[in-house]
Amino acid sequence: MSSPSSSSESSDLPITQRAIKNISNVCFSAFVLSVLVLTVAAITYTPPDPWLQSSLSLAKSLSATLPNSTFFHTDDSVTTTGEDLDLLSPQPPPLLNQTTATTTTTSSPSLCSSSSNSSSSSSLNCSDPAVLAAIRTFNAKVFRKSITILAYDSPPVPGPRPDQCDASWRYRSRKEKSRRRYRDYRRFRLARADNCSYAVLSAGTFRSGANAAPPRRPRSATLPDAEINDTIPVLASEEAFRKGRYLYYARGGDHCKGMNQFIWSFLCGLGEASFLNRTFVMDLGVCLNGGHTASGRDEDGKDFRYYFDFEHLKESAPVVEEREFLRDWRRWDRRRAKNKISVRKVPSYKVTPMQLKRDRSSILWRQFRGPEPENYWYRVCEGAAAKYIQRPWQALWKSKRLMNIVTEIGGRMDWDYDAVHVVRGYKANNKDLWPNLDADTSPDALVTKVLSMVKPWRNLYVATNEPFYNYFDKLRSHYKVHLLDDYSEMWGNRSEWYNETMALNGGKPVEFDGYMRVAVDTEVLYRAKTQVETFNNLTRDCKDGINTC
């Protein structure tokens, strides 16, 4: 039993001491509770992924432009893909050229070396860390608004003159939301300053530092780009195949329709596969609509990888290539007569994804055999299914081979350019739907309207479907005009694009077709400082025809 004297001693404490004791107990309890709350918050908090952008606004936009199973084919625009979502609009820096203002940097004393301090040395020691520090500071100032420099490949190397060094780095445009990395290498002229520092006196243009360029790969139709892994995934074993669950879409009425409809339908299938937790069986063969071909006829047998980034798609969603899948299915199904792979054929889009959610068949085979538009893939995602199926826009990026051309065009203009989008083609000839477009985009009208929006003698990139190269000659009296055809060597028979696409095509050359041209034009336009649009700035007509604004 406790002694009565102990309780009496506690009660005999002065009131002040008892109050201090109670307050300290309350404070300690509050401290323990706050630590507990912060610990739980730190464990459960998940920061937003900087690589994945919200696609809500894009889905709403496309739902508005592609309603009720009706598509209107256009050849002057490209459906936005995952890397274009929520683009920012930073301003490019001043033109980087041989007259760039001097930028200096001071290295710490630890970076000094005997060679860099020697006044008798007649040439720069380009491997001195202070040289790279000066180039880093210079680039950070010049490119602060246009590109993000991610990493320098190696120390600078000597240029052709004693005061020159060539440096190479990887970068990403600030207007590109993907994780892609591009390479630039430039020639810098430097001078030694006091206190172990260097000053960058001038810098060359895009990829002018040839001594820092990566070694050229041999010209070969079978040599892939080491930075692009778009090989077809292969299932390792029969066991792996039988354990898998697949969603297989048979070819439907979308085949050979416009590329916008192809993307809308393809992402519907990919979204249903994600909803059902299945691997999507995809056909890498694409039929290009005649609106984008030189012949004017639909051309089948194009490779998905010409237009889209298959490497990123494989990383973003479980997919398997159709021919590989069918080959394995036939091979392993024949081996076991009594243990066939379970298949459920789904004859109509009216069987909803929600009805298939609990199906345990190894293969769900959707078949699209009805008349148009009953046989369109995207019908699966309409109606009640639209509440459950989310199109994975973040999984679809444009081909890196095309984006390499985009970044080289932008780099040659040092990311300091404006752009005008001039839509003509069949729209300019259709006076019933677009009565003013032809006159509003005439050479004289273009000069008047562009001059009111873009300062003279700027780099002006013209993104257009106008086939006549000299149509924009009057703009050349006021601007440094650039057209896509000015860069045709980038897809010519000596280019990397030519060799790499030929490797995908079994050694046969690939045409740089109309959709590729529009895709490159559009992406260069996105990166311009000022963007002049046809239907917002140049003409009173509506984009989709009269009374559709």
The secondary structure of 317-381, three-state, reads CCEEEHHHHHHHHHHHHHHCCCCCCCEEEECCCCCCHHHHCCCCCCEEEECCCCCCCCCCHHHHH
Which of the 8 DSSP states describes residue 130? Answer: H
d(CA 395, CA 529): 28
pLDDT at 114: 44
**Helices and strands counted in the chain (H then E):** 17, 17
Residues lower than pLDDT 70 in the chain:
1-13, 40-79, 85-122, 217-226, 236, 335-337
Which of the 8 DSSP states describes residue 45? Answer: -
pLDDT at 78: 66
Cross-strand pairs, 462 = 420, 483
Which of the 8 DSSP states describes residue 106? Answer: E
Q: Token digits for 448?
A: 């008047």
d(CA 451, CA 538): 12
**Cβ(495)–Cβ(516) under 8 Å?**
no
d(CA 415, CA 213): 20
> Where do the structural domains in the chain lie, given as residue ranges?
59-223, 229-395, 399-538
SS3 for 431-473, per residue? CCCCCCHHHHCCHHHHHHHHHCCCCCCCEEEEEECCCCHHHHH
**Cβ(332)–Cβ(363) under 8 Å?**
no
Q: Does domain 229-395 have CATH number 3.40.50?
A: yes
Which of the 8 DSSP states describes residue 155? Answer: S
d(CA 240, CA 462): 51
The 10 Å Cβ neighbour count of residue 63 is 12
d(CA 249, CA 319): 12
Closest CA to 523 of 182, 259, 175: 175
pLDDT at 9: 46
Q: Token digits for 498?
A: 């030519």
What three-state secondary structure class fits 302? strand
What three-state secondary structure class fits 421? strand
